[in-house]
């Protein structure tokens, strides 16, 4: 990755920040964006301390025109773009489909799915022009495994997987010099569970004791892998040109469960949910 220009959305925290640091260590030139200016500034300082060249920008990935303009800005700044890591995402909702409101569904799909589509579409011509491009789209273990209360999130992450796999077929069919990778992280130690409740509170929703307990269970029992380790796994997979990267044993086990027991895995998931969180 030495000398490659790599774009990372959602670089202000979590996997995005860890990816920025990992790619910086590997000699990449970085274009980092986020909606959090404070988080992005912290990431930029850490990256600069490693000696990496970095360009930063405030970016809302749901804004199609802004993403398209950003792609042009990065291309003008560096003269070339080699890699795009469409990483920005939110957990979304946390309620059943029956109880979810349209605003939460719309926002989750706008960030997690359309953010990926916007980034891919905007940067793809530049990646092709580089002669050595790579699209890396972050899905989730919930890109192949469904869970209660994650309707919009699962829809978005299943969508990212499908969109990315279609893109791969098109790059092969068109003979374009662009590799395509979909990433399925399992439980990575980020702020995503806590951010869900903060977002709900900010938007005026009453957070129940059960939802608070669910967040604590995620933070204490499920989100275990350090983001730095996840970033190394992703970067190693990208270096090898892997079409699919499963991050963590939980992601690998979930994948096998769905593949080998497609009819029965929903009952297994519901049973696990009840053991972890109690009956809804």
**Of these residues, 70, 153, 218, 265, which one is catalytic?**
153
Active site residue 205: no
Report how far residue 181's alpha carbon sits from residue 133's, in angstroms, rounded to the nearest whole number: 11
Report how far residue 124's alpha carbon sits from residue 142's, in angstroms, rounded to the nearest whole number: 25
Report how far residue 178's alpha carbon sits from residue 195's, in angstroms, rounded to the nearest whole number: 34
Report how far residue 43's alpha carbon sits from residue 46's, in angstroms, rounded to the nearest whole number: 5
Catalytic residue numbers read 153
């Amino acid at each position: 990755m030495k000398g490659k220009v790599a774009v990372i959305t959602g670089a202000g925290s979590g996997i995005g920040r860890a990816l920025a640091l990992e790619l910086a260590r590997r000699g990449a030139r970085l274009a980092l964006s986020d909606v959090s200016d404070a988080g992005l500034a912290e990431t930029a300082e850490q990256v600069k301390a490693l000696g990496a060249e970095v360009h930063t920008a405030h970016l809302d990935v749901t804004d199609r025109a802004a993403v398209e303009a950003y792609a042009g800005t990065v291309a003008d700044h560096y003269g070339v773009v080699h890699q795009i890591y469409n990483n920005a995402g939110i957990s979304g909702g946390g309620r059943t489909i029956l109880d979810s409101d349209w605003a939460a569904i719309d926002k989750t799909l706008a960030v997690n799915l359309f953010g990926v589509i916007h980034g891919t579409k905007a940067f793809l011509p530049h990646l092709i022009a580089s002669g050595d491009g790579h699209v890396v789209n972050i899905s989730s273990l919930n890109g192949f495994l469904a869970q209660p209360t994650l309707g919009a999130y699962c829809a978005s992450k299943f969508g990212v997987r499908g969109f990315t796999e279609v893109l791969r077929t098109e790059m092969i069919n068109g003979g374009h010099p662009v590799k395509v990778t979909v990433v399925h992280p399992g439980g990575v130690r980020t702020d995503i569970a806590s951010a869900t409740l903060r977002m709900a509170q900010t938007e005026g929703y009453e957070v129940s004791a059960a939802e608070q307990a669910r967040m604590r269970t995620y933070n204490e029992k499920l989100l275990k892998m350090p983001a730095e380790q996840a970033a190394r796994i992703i970067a190693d997979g990208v270096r090898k040109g892997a079409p699919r990267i499963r991050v963590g044993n939980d992601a690998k086990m979930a994948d096998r469960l769905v593949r080998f027991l497609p009819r029965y895995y929903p009952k297994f998931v519901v049973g696990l949910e009840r053991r972890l969180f109690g009956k809804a």
